[in-house]
């Protein structure tokens, strides 16, 4: 395949992503005004047509609404999901994973024998020692998702905080990078809808057999080795949004 020049994102998309990020991380809260067309045009040195396009895109995504006499404000949204990609991107961008109205509680941090699926993901033998960290995420004090992160047992010595049932304020990737020198390079997420198991129901206060969005993810270091394997579940009506390029 012939090499291709990587072109920058179009101006309107850069502005859109900037405002969307402020909404996602809570910098712009529900009911707060977002920049007007005039302000966007002045701040970013773009045309009013571009500014109009940005606000129209935000309204289309359900992130903002126009109120007569007030302007364009952030609207209350359906709960947003946080996959591994979401968490890493938020940490890199803002220094924190969750918006102000969300919090996570670590409910398990232990060394266990690797189940078959986990062993395969981490490149270990079945039954090898692995670290298991499980968390439940609450939005406005209501449980909305749960996730389990798995690491090779060899990290027990190098990164002992993984075995403490407390949140890592700097985020797991930053902590592991600081402790081991391994750099997180890329990740892969998969998602599928399924019925809630008894364990899911207990964690999230759901009815067994109800709909949940299940996910799993692999996070790789610069050598291509899996540093973390994750499994997650989220209640229904949690949106995960991703931007991507389509090159011809």
Distance of alpha carbon 172 from alpha carbon 86, whole angstroms: 13
Distance of alpha carbon 185 from alpha carbon 146, whole angstroms: 24
CB within 8 Å of 221: residues ≥ 6 apart: 182, 183, 184, 185, 227
Distance of alpha carbon 219 from alpha carbon 224, whole angstroms: 9
pLDDT score, position 169: 84
Q: Is the dihedral of CA 242, 238, 91, 113 positive or negative?
A: negative
pLDDT score, position 47: 93
pLDDT score, position 5: 44
Distance of alpha carbon 60 from alpha carbon 195, whole angstroms: 30
Q: Could you give all domains of the chain from N- to C-terminal order, each with its CATH number?
A: 11-74 (1.10.10.10), 84-235 (3.40.1410.10)
Distance of alpha carbon 77 from alpha carbon 56, whole angstroms: 16
Residue stretches of the chain with pLDDT short of 50: 5
pLDDT score, position 40: 94
pTM above 0.75, yes or no: no
Q: pLDDT, tens digit, for every residue of 81-110?
A: 555 666 665 555 555 566 677 888 999 999
Radius of gyration of the chain (CA): 20
- Unique residue bearing structure tokens 């998309």: 13
For strands 226-235 and 211-221, give the pairing.
Answer: antiparallel
């Amino acid at each position: 395949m012939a090499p291709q020049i990587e072109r920058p994102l179009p101006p309107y998309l850069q502005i859109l992503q900037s405002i969307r990020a402020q909404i996602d991380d809570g910098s712009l809260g529900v009911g707060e005004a977002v920049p007007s067309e005039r302000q966007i045009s002045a701040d970013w040195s773009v045309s009013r047509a571009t500014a109009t396009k940005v606000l129209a895109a935000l309204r289309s995504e359900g992130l903002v609404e126009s109120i007569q006499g007030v302007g364009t404000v952030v609207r209350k949204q359906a709960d947003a999901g946080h996959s591994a990609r979401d968490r890493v991107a938020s940490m890199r961008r803002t220094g924190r994973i969750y918006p102000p109205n969300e919090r996570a509680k670590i409910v398990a941090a232990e060394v266990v024998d690797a189940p078959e699926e986990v062993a395969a993901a981490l490149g270990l033998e079945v039954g090898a020692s692995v670290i298991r960290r499980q968390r439940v995420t609450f939005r406005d004090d209501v449980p909305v998702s749960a996730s389990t992160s798995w690491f090779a047992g060899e990290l027990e010595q190098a990164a002992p905080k993984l075995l403490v049932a407390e949140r890592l304020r700097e985020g797991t990737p930053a902590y592991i990078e600081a402790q081991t020198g391994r750099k997180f390079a890329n990740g892969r997420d998969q998602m599928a809808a399924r019925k809630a198991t008894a364990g899911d129901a207990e964690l999230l206060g759901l009815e067994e057999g109800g709909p949940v969005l299940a996910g799993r993810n692999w996070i790789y270091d610069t050598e291509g080795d899996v540093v973390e394997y994750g499994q997650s579940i989220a209640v229904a009506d949690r949106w995960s949004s991703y931007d991507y390029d389509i090159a011809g």
